[in-house]
Structure 1
Amino acid sequence: MVAAVGGAALLSRRLTAGAPIPAWGNFPAIPTARSQGNIPTLKMPTAQGWGRGQTPVAAPGLKVNAFATGLQHPRWIHVLPNGDVLIAESINMARASMRNIFDYAMVSTMKRAAAVGISANRITLLRDTDGDGVAETQQTFLDGLNQPFGMELLGDTFYVGNTDGVVAFPYTAGASRITAPGRTLVEFKSGGHWTRSLLASPEGQKLYVGVGSSSNIGENGMHLEAGRAAIYELDVASGESRIFASGLRNAVGMAWEPGTGTLWTVVNERDGLGDETPPDYLTSVRDGGFYGWPYCYWGQTVDDRVPRDADLVATAITPDYALGGHTASLGLCWLPAGTLPGFPDGMAIGQHGSWNRSTLSGYKLVFVPFNNGRPSGPPRDILSGFLAPDERVSYGRPVGVAIGPDGSVLMADDVGDVIWRVTGDRPV
């Protein structure tokens, strides 16, 4: 049944259109929407993992090694002040009920691709005690969580973005494990887009929280989307929260551009309008800004599948930089110039990869250069080779990105169950 649904949809796409030019950059060429009806394209490689000695392909001038292996669906990375590296291990869980044939096909396809399963619900601590670029220590730091994702440490409090809310735990400097109970600061609805990324403000008084929509385009009713598709601002002292920006279908990674102090995020856009329509994007985030979902995309391009709201559409902000259609851009990390040799200031972006287009996209760790606080040129690969050339299997899928304690770039791979470490290919 999965093959029939996915194959028919894929054949239809190939018969009706050639492969579009990837929609990338500040001024992307976005193809006219072509509705895929109730059965959009389903195409996803089988999760295979890495063979012995096999690694991603590093860009010229760079090298890559496994910082840690044997994890269970590692998604997000946080580096503590003492150099310990924390990894959130969690996964999307299969729906309890299937509403239609497409739900069945999608869940079955995602199981084959290791994109749904039983969540470890823990945070693991990695420690490189001898400085050789490989973690010798790997132990549970915090468990009993609910699909943990984002992590932040502010003073003596460690914050976790569970799928159902932000939880605060007491932390002692240098601790290898947290066993004390946490307290919930703010609750969120579960279901749909489940990740809850966290980013502390530069002065450490606020937390920003990414909360994705529960659906593709509000097809189950907008009353179920109340408080979703947004970035929240949480005051850690008072526990009060507010929506900082809205209309962001699934804002995941967040980072500060240090020159201007501007918040940036990467957003996964809607499905069912074609391979490149609309593109996922990297954008600055304005306080009170509305970014279109579900009524419009890439500025004020109306989505005819959604009941119209002309007043909201008129306020929609055009994103800053397109990242290609359905690339599932999740990880985001600011890299100062020279973090990797030959790379200027810019953002590293973990592209998890598509499951819903005729020619697969993403499956890379990419870099977008910045100049004067803005994206300033075409993207560059940092790591590639996560997808087999025939697109039938994936060896890995990029997710979270962080600067490691030794100044390297760390990236979580939730199919390979690896944390990859990227450095220059020559000693400094």
Structure 2
Amino acid sequence: MRWVSGLLAMAMAGCAAAAELPLEKLNLPEGFVIEVYVDDVANARQMALGDAGTLFIGTRAAGDVYAVEDSDGDGRPDAKRVIASELARPSGVAVHEGDLYVAEVSQIRRYPAIESQLASGADLEFSIFVDGLPTEEHHGWKYIDFGPDGHLYVPVGAPCNICDEEEPFATILRVAADGSDYQVYARGVRNSVGFDWHPQTGELWFTDNGRDMMGDDIPDCELNRVSTPGEHFGYPYFHAGDVRDPEYGEGKDPGDYTAPVAKLGAHVAPLGMYFYEGEAFPEAYRHLFIVEHGSWNRSKKVGYQVKMAVLEGNEVTAYRPFIDGWLNNDEDDSYWGRPVALLPLVDGSLLLSDDYAGVVYRVSYRGQ
């Protein structure tokens, strides 16, 4: 394990970079504040909290997994270490019953009793929880989490922009609690890198990135809801419910596939999402937050923001910005950050990772 020991070392190594981030450009609703919570985390992606409060952060291209600790309990991290390195795009992390799960492209590692292992100072022990997933790196990085049923949910993206490959490509898998078997829980899913369960219905909702190379404004990226395990959400035949694919849609009926709950806009690249259930935010902001990582191949970039989907029961009635300002909107269409994933803290604030700026932000509400 590589250590960055103590708050002072963290400040010396990373806070110069944090100080250079133009946080003043970020727009939030009145009363909300955003600040850098963890600095110098190259390519920060999904996050998870241990039972004792350790923050685990996965990365994609960097190949590292971080553990961040608040040893004195003051609400500020004071120690950070790399606990695994040179992994195959370990973007997804989850903690379940004290064990840490790390998703690589073709396998998922399990580190038992992770916080006890970290406290011992010994080399970490792990086993392979899931093996034999596809090795293709295109859309091969993963977002993982355990559902209310105790199963691990694992998306397997399509290995292409558009193609018709056999399963498990373009699916979301549900893995048995002992890792021994999996079933296809959702089909026709091009590339989901974020999901959560509706707090009232218990249904799985997930974001899905729409295909490229059909122009600036079609097809929309999607927010979907699984009502029946095994449903098919259209890829590669239809996109956003009613956009027939020019290569694979001929002869197909859109009525055979499940339409999205909401169309989010073309190329916005929705990733992490979270149903806010805390009480720290005002009631008007206790809805569904969706992170838009941002476009890469659009003539005018879009996304690069966090938005809020307003819910009435099980339906989305509005979709509006919550945080924006990472996109500079200049002649060069430049940006200084790309938000990725959300994670709640026990005080009701939200952590937000940024794989371009290499930080984790904390979003909190402080009133007037």
Normalised to the residue count of structure 2, the TM-score between the two structures is: 0.87
What pairs with 1:82-121 in structure 2 (closer than 5 Å)? 82-91=52-61, 119=62, 121=63
Separation in 1, partners of 2:185, 2:229: 5
Match of 1:412 in 2: 353
Post-superposition offset of 1:399: 0.3
Task: Report if the CA contact (8 A) 1:76-1:399 is conserved.
Answer: yes
**Pairing partner for 2:203 from 262, 285, 296:** 262
Separation in 2, partners of 1:82, 1:50: 27
Which deviates the most, 293-302 or 71-80? 293-302
Describe the shift of the 1:245–1:300 C-alpha distance in structure 2 as closer, same or farther (beyond 3 A): same
Match of 2:5 in 1: none
Q: Which amino acid aligns with 1:195?
A: W
Match of 2:308 in 1: 367
Q: Which amino acid aligns with 1:76?
A: Q
Gaps of 5+ in 1: 1-48, 92-118
Deviations 1:63-105 (A, max 9, x none): 01100111111011111222211110222xxxxxxxxxxxxxx
Task: Report if the CA contact (8 A) 1:269-1:279 is conserved.
Answer: yes
Between the two structures, name the one with larger relative contact order (CA 8 Å, sep ≥ 6). Answer: 1
Match of 1:215 in 2: 160
Q: Which amino acid aligns with 2:93?
A: M
Separation in 1, partners of 2:149, 2:249: 41
Deviations 1:312-370 (A, max 9, x none): x4411110011111001111111126442353432211111001112211000111122
**Pairing partner for 2:180 from 209, 217, 239:** 239
Match of 1:46 in 2: none
Post-superposition offset of 1:131: 5.0
**3-state SS, counterpart of residue 268 of structure 2:** coil
Match of 2:82 in 1: 140
Match of 1:75 in 2: 45
* Paired-residue identity, %: 26
Describe the shift of the 1:143–1:50 C-alpha distance in structure 2 as closer, same or farther (beyond 3 A): closer
Match of 1:107 in 2: none
Task: Report if the CA contact (8 A) 1:167-1:183 is conserved.
Answer: yes
**Pairing partner for 1:198 from 144, 153, 161:** 144
Q: Which amino acid aligns with 2:198?
A: E
What pairs with 1:3-402 in structure 2 (closer than 5 Å)? 52=20, 54-55=22-23, 56-91=26-61, 119=62, 121-131=63-73, 133-176=75-118, 179-189=124-134, 190-204=136-150, 206-218=151-163, 222-223=164-165, 225-237=166-178, 239-285=180-226, 286-306=228-248, 308-310=250-252, 313-336=254-277, 338-381=279-322, 383-390=323-330, 391-402=332-343
**RMSD of aligned residue pairs (Cα, Å):** 2.2
Post-superposition offset of 1:173: 4.5
Match of 1:18 in 2: none
Task: Report if the CA contact (8 A) 1:338-1:344 is conserved.
Answer: no
Separation in 2, partners of 1:73, 1:238: 28
Which deviates the most, 354-363 or 139-148? 139-148
Gaps of 5+ in 2: 1-16
Q: Which amino acid aligns with 1:194?
A: G
Deviations 1:228-247 (A, max 9, x none): 11100100225101111111
Describe the shift of the 1:234–1:361 C-alpha distance in structure 2 as closer, same or farther (beyond 3 A): same
**3-state SS, counterpart of residue 394 of structure 1:** coil
Normalised to the residue count of structure 1, the TM-score between the two structures is: 0.75
